[in-house]
Chains A and B, each alone.
Chain A
Amino acid sequence: MRRLIAVCAAALLANSAPGLAQSYLTPAPAPRSTSSAALHAAAVQREIVERFHLGLSALQAHDEGAAAAEFSRILELHPGEPQGSTAAYDLGVAQANAGALDDAARSFELAIERDPGFLAAMANLIAVDLGRHELAQARAVADRFVAAAPDSARALYSRGLAALQMGDLGTARGDFSKLLSNDPQYAVAHYDLGVTEERENHFNAAMREFTTALGLAPSYARARFAVGTLLLREGNRDGARIAFARAAQDAGDDPSLRGLALEMRDAISH
């Protein structure tokens, strides 16, 4: 019996070994050349790998300056692909985390230049461009992102946001609707679709989206505030006052929204 258990365990381990092996990095091969050029290349490659490890550790420790220095040095070593685009991408992450958005945008652009199908770099470049209010740039990258990954939730959400902020309401509606057809439970997209409808004066459709968002997330303060503004527009002052009061109550982490909701509630009361 014991022998049978041992055989089964051995078979199980043997089957899972390839899966476990994928958890570890492939060790660098020992140099098999005495050529100085090959030895130099191997040394450079070892330095690149070591600097990646140092940079990623620094990022984990929130030491963005040290991380950026490591990834910059990797780029100076002229790595091939995928390490070149990856170093540029990681440099962009470090710079964005440090608040250097212009530098981060340049790094993500470099990553995409070196690897035109790099979806994560496109996603981060759009996030940075939205953060620095470069809407046209964000939109251009978002168009590429959607073309490369038409069902990507991030691509649709990002382009929808850029389009909404630029006033291209047709594209915004199409992107948020497609995102919701793939993931109907995503309350934030219902809210943004509601904002899109409200900007086109489709108030019934907007109200439907905001109430759907609230059905999915009852403490969604921003959606509750939006319902209040639509009720106020309809002349339902009591309903609006209740909605603003509830929005203020739920907006714990957003002091500006809380202040605005209280202001609206009090303006209706008096």
Chain B
Amino acid sequence: MLTRSVARPFLVLLFVFATACAGFALANAGVLSGAGVQPLVPSGAPPLLGAINELGRKGWACAPERAAGAKSARAAELPDIP
């Protein structure tokens, strides 16, 4: 009888502790898996190149065509740091 009266509060305390531990673990798992759930997003599409006049794309004065073929990111008018 005495054993049962001591054991019951002990079991209740043990249950509460276990529940708290489980909750903590789940919360942390949520944070950790958050990195996986939120995949890293690639950069956005490059902005459009501008319009061209009636002389067409060939020749030194056509900035969009030169940008399209440029080797460096800046000359190519690629996106800068957002």
Q: Residues of A with Cβ closer than 8 Å to B?
A: 22, 25, 48-49, 52-53, 55-56, 59, 81-83, 85-86, 89-90, 93-94, 96-97, 115, 118-120, 122-124, 126-128, 130-131, 149, 151-155, 157-158, 161, 164-165, 179, 182-183, 185-189, 191-192, 194-195, 198-199, 217, 219-222, 225-226, 229-230, 232-233, 253-254, 260, 264, 267-268, 270
The answer to the question of B6 belonging to the interface, with a C-beta cut-off of 8 Å to chain A, is no
**B71–A182 touching, CB < 8 Å:** yes
Known interface pairs A25-B55, A267-B31; A96-B48 also in contact (CB < 8 Å): yes
Give the nearest-CB partner of B60 in chain A.
A22
Choose among A128, A153, A253 the residue that contacts B72 (Cβ–Cβ < 8 A): A153
When C-beta atoms are compared, the residue in chain B nearest to A124 turns out to be B48
Chain A: CB-nearest residue to B45: A130
Taking the closest CB of chain B, its distance from the CB of A81, in whole angstroms, is 7
Q: Chain B interface (Cβ within 8 Å of chain A)?
A: 27, 30-32, 34-35, 38-43, 45-58, 60-62, 64-65, 67-73, 75-82
Q: How far is the CA of A164 from the CA of B58 in the complex (A)?
A: 32
B71 to chain A, nearest CB (A): 5
Q: How far is the CA of A191 from the CA of B43 in the complex (A)?
A: 8
Contact in complex: A186, B56 (CB < 8 Å): no
Closest CB of chain A to B79's CB: distance in Å?
Answer: 6
Q: Are B68 and A157 in contact (CB under 8 A)?
A: no
How far in angstroms is the closest Cβ of chain B from A38? Answer: 20
In the complex the two chains form, is B61's CB within 8 Å of A22's CB?
yes
Kindly identify which residue among B31, B45, B46 contacts A264, using a CB–CB cutoff of 8 Å.
B31
Asked if A188 and B43 make an inter-chain contact with CB atoms under 8 angstroms apart, the answer reads: yes
Tell me the bound Cα distance from A47 to B30 in angstroms: 65
Assembly CA distance A243 to B65 (angstroms): 40
B40 touches A229 (CB 8 A): yes
Q: Interface of chain A, helix or strand or loop or mixed?
A: helix
Q: In the docked arrangement, what's the CA distance between A195 and B65, Å? A: 29
Q: Nearest A residue to B35 by beta-carbon distance?
A: A229
Residue of A with least CB distance to B70: A153
Contact B61 A82 (CB under 8 A): no
Q: What is the bound-complex CA distance between A222 and B43, given in angstroms?
A: 9
B42 contacts A119, CB within 8 Å? Answer: no
Given A119-B68, A260-B38, the answer on whether A83 and B81 have CB atoms closer than 8 Å is: no
Q: Does B32 contact A232, Cβ atoms closer than 8 Å? A: yes
Expressed in whole angstroms, the Cα–Cα distance for A245 and B75 within the complex equals 34
Known: A83-B56, A130-B45. A152 touches B70 (CB 8 A): yes
Residues of B within 8 A of A122 (CB): 68
CB distance from B47 to the nearest CB of A (A): 7
**Is the CB–CB distance between B54 and A52 below 8 Å?**
yes
Question: By the criterion CB–CB under 8 Å, are A56 and B51 in contact?
Answer: yes
B76 cross-chain contacts in A, Cβ below 8 A: 152-154, 157
| Residue numbers in A under 8 Å from B53 (CB-CB) | 52, 56, 86
- Offer 11 A-B interface pairs, CB within 8 angstroms, sorted by A: A53-B54, A81-B56, A90-B51, A120-B49, A149-B69, A152-B76, A154-B68, A154-B70, A229-B38, A232-B34, A264-B38
Name which residue of chain B comes closest to A82, CB basis: B56
Q: Is the CB of B45 within 8 A of A149?
A: no
